[in-house]
Structure formats: structure tokens, C-alpha cells
């Protein structure tokens, strides 16, 4: 393990934590640049997945005001 981030690799949660994945799951090692690209692409994709809730468009992308907990609740609610 490289606690200083000098190895050029990052551990990635293959089962996303914000979707309920175990925070202590084994990580997939990826090159740092690939990990950054993956998250950029994943965030762009999740921003296109939306629902209208109380007249407001809400995306599946986790961010301030749209936490993983909120996203999981939205996904479970078939009426939304």
C-alpha cells in the first residue's frame, strides 16, 4: 500500500459506495490517470440519468445536496 500516493495507482471501488457498495470491499488497482478518467466519464454519464422530483430535475450523480443516501432512496421509490 502506498499511503503517500506516489506509486501512480489508485484503488477503485468496483461496486460504488454511493450506490450501497461495501466501503470495505476489495479495491481494484488502476493507474492514476485511468482512475481520474473513469470518474470523469462516470460522473458525466450519471449526470444524464435524471428524474423529476417535486418539479426539480435530479441526476444520479452524487454531489453536494445529492448524496448517495438520497440517490438510493430515489432509486427505490417507484413513484418518483
8-35 pLDDT tens trace: 888 899 998 888 889 999 999 999 888 8
Residue 2 lies in a domain: no
What is the pTM for the complete model shown?
Answer: 0.70
Domain hosting residue 36, numbered range: 10-76
On whether residue 72 sits in a domain, the answer given is: yes
Question: What's the number of domains the chain is made of?
Answer: 1
User: What is the distance between the alpha carbons of residues 52 and 2, in angstroms, rounded to a whole number?
Assistant: 43
Output the DSSP codes for the chain.
--TTS-SSEEEE-SS-GGGT--TTSPPEEEEHHHHHHHHHHHHHHHHH-EEEETTEEEESS-BTTB-HHHHHHHHH-TT-
Model confidence pLDDT, tens digit, residues 41-62: 999 999 999 888 889 888 999 9
In a domain, 1, yes or no: no
Residue 17 covered by a domain: yes
Which pLDDT value is given to residue 78? Answer: 65
- Return the pLDDT at 73: 84
Does the residue 4 lie in any domain?
no
Amino acid at each position: 500500500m502506498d499511503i503517500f500516493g506516489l506509486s501512480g495507482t489508485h484503488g477503485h471501488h468496483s461496486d460504488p459506495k454511493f450506490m450501497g457498495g461495501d466501503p470495505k470491499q476489495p479495491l481494484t488497482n488502476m493507474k492514476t490517470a485511468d482512475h481520474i478518467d473513469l470518474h470523469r466519464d462516470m460522473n458525466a454519464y450519471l449526470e444524464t440519468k435524471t428524474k423529476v422530483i417535486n418539479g426539480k430535475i435530479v441526476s444520479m450523480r452524487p454531489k453536494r445536496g445529492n448524496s448517495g443516501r438520497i440517490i438510493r432512496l430515489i432509486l427505490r421509490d417507484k413513484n418518483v
